[in-house]
Amino acid sequence: MSDKSRARFWLWVAPSSVPLTLLGSIPVLLLAYISLTSFELGYAFTDHRFVGFSNYTRLFSGREVEFWPALSLSIFVTFVSVIAKTALGLGVAVLLNKKLRFEYLATALIILPMAVNPAIAGLMWKLMLSYDFGIINAWLEELGFDKVVWLGQAWALMSVVIVLVWMHFPLSALLILAGLRNIAKDPQEAALMDGCNPRQVFWFIVAPQLLPVIIASSLFQAILAFQAFGPIFTLTGGGPGGATMILPLYIYEAAFGLGTVGLAAAAAIILIAITSALSAGMLVLGGKGQRS
């Protein structure tokens, strides 16, 4: 690219990329610095000790007993919910692609979970899943089953997964639908005329082209699931007894519950590292997809 074009390019891109880079990086650098200190909430900001990497070693070595469980819970929740969200999203996208009669209404309804305030949505699910006052248990009883302690030790994690799937699957559905609509129709029609049945058409022609979109949307969902805070905070608050203490909640507890901001910052940097790795993966794949 010529020098003149390059200058022009920067002129166009600067208004957004410069502020963004600054605004994106300064808080993170500040956070990284805090993670190397023993800063605690309530003391003046200048009143802290530099402790190097000891916050990180404390977290990783298990000295902070709740860190590894928090990390593994996050990984588990992300893994399970992403699979469920993608599968559900794929199914819905395929159905919406069929251009059935109430397509617009269906799309509007499917988008609803994304429109509600996440904290309030968590509270609504908390009420619906309540043992005594929950509508889910009321129905179970009517149908003759036993009531389930949805938010107790055994089921709380599953309830968290259900709520996350509910909240985020519309996004998968929309992204995959966009991907489906972009796939050329001709090869499909040609295959049908040659005698293949629709199922074969789907699995051998459509699906391979859909794969990049599915992977990209899965990674995006993984980022969302890993960071999810609001709904789980109101649904279980990390309980009972730490059964749903995922990493963002651990960070909240450490920073605002105990005031140990330095430690929380270290955990937050770890969280950021993970989501950045996921997003880098997304970019790499997205780049590949664009070129093809």
Partner 1 sequence: MKRSLKNFGGYFWLSLACLFACFPVLFMVVTSLKTRAMLYEPARILFEPTLMNYEAAILQYGVTSYLKDSLIVCAINVLICVILGTITGYALHRFTFKRQNLIVAGILSARVFPSIALVIPFYLIGIFLHLLDTYTIIIIVFVTFNLPFSVVMMRGFFANISQDCEEAAMMEGCSRFGALVRVVLPQLKTGIFATAIMSFLTAWNEFTYVLFLTSSKVHMISTAVVFFKTEQGILWGEVSALGVIGVLPVIALCFLTQRYLVRGIV
Partner 2 sequence: MSFTRRAFMLTSALITSALVSFPQAAIADSEEFSKWVDTVKAQEGGKTIRILGLSHPASESMKAMTPEFEKATGINVEWEIVGSGEILSKQFLAQTAGESSYDVYMVKGTALAEYDTKNVLVELSSRLEATNEYLPEYDFEDIHVAYRSGLGEVHGNTIAVPIAGETFFLSYRKDLFEKYGKTPPQTMDELLEAAKFFHEKEPGLYGISMRAETGRTLALTWEVFNPAFGGAIVDQANWDVKTDSPATIRSLKYLLELLAYAPPDIETYSWDAAVSAYAAGKTAMWLDATSLQSWLVDSDKSKVVGKIGYVAPPEGPEGRFGPVGGWSLGLPSTGTQADAGWAFIVWMTSKEKALEAFQKGGVPSRLSVLQDPAFADADPEFASALKDSLDAAGNLITSGRRWIPATSESTKLHKAAGYWAGQALLKKMTVEEAMKAAIPQLEEITAKIKSQE
- Where in 229-288 is the site for partner 2 (CB under 8 A)? 239-242, 255-259
Q: Write the interaction track for partner 1 spanning residues 189-228; mark x where CB under 8 A is met and - where it is not.
A: ----------------------------------x--xx-
Nearest to 210 by CA among 81, 46, 91, 75: 91
150 binds, among partner 1, partner 2, none (CB under 5 to 8 A by kind): none
Single out the residue of 115, 143, 184, 193 in contact with partner 1 (rule: CB under 8 A): 115
In angstroms, rounded to a whole number, what is the distance separating the alpha carbons of residues 43 and 194?
75
Single out the residue of 66, 67, 84, 118 in contact with partner 1 (rule: CB under 8 A): 118
In angstroms, rounded to a whole number, what is the distance separating the alpha carbons of residues 124 and 21?
37
Q: Write the interaction track for partner 2 spanning residues 149-188; mark x where CB under 8 A is met and - where it is not.
A: x-xxx-----------------------------------
| In the complex, minimum distance from the CB of residue 190 to partner 1, in angstroms, rounded to a whole number | 22
Q: Does 19 bind partner 2 (CB under 8 A)?
A: no
What residue has token string 């993170």? 28
Stretch of residues binding partner 1 (CB under 8 A), selected from 54-62, 72-80, 174-182, 189-197:
174-182
According to DSSP, the residues that pair with 110 across neighbouring strands are: none
Q: Is the dihedral of CA 33, 34, 39, 44 positive or negative?
A: positive
Q: Does 268 bind partner 1 (CB under 8 A)?
A: yes
Stretch of residues binding partner 2 (CB under 8 A), selected from 19-27, 144-152, 158-166, 183-191:
144-152
Q: Is 220 or 233 the residue whose CB approaches partner 2 more closely?
A: 233
* Residue 164: both structure tokens together: 């996350």
Q: Is 152 or 212 the residue whose CB approaches partner 2 more closely?
A: 152
Q: Does 143 bind partner 1 (CB under 8 A)?
A: no
Q: Write the interaction track for partner 2 spanning residues 24-43; mark x where CB under 8 A is met and - where it is not.
A: -----------------xxx
Q: Is 67 or 226 the residue whose CB approaches partner 1 more closely?
A: 226
| Region for residue 43 given its phi and psi (left: phi exceeds 0; alpha: psi -120 to 50; beta: otherwise) | beta
Amino acid at 75: I
Q: Note the helical H segments in the chain.
A: 3-35, 54-61, 67-97, 103-115, 118-128, 135-142, 156-182, 186-193, 198-201, 207-227, 230-235, 247-252, 261-291
* Residue 6: both structure tokens together: 């390059």
Cβ atoms of 267 and 251 closer than 8 Å: yes
| In the complex, minimum distance from the CB of residue 42 to partner 2, in angstroms, rounded to a whole number | 4
Q: Is the dihedral of CA 46, 47, 50, 56 positive or negative?
A: negative
- Give the interface with partner 2 as residue ranges (CB under 8 A): 41-45, 65, 132, 149, 151-153, 239-242, 255-259
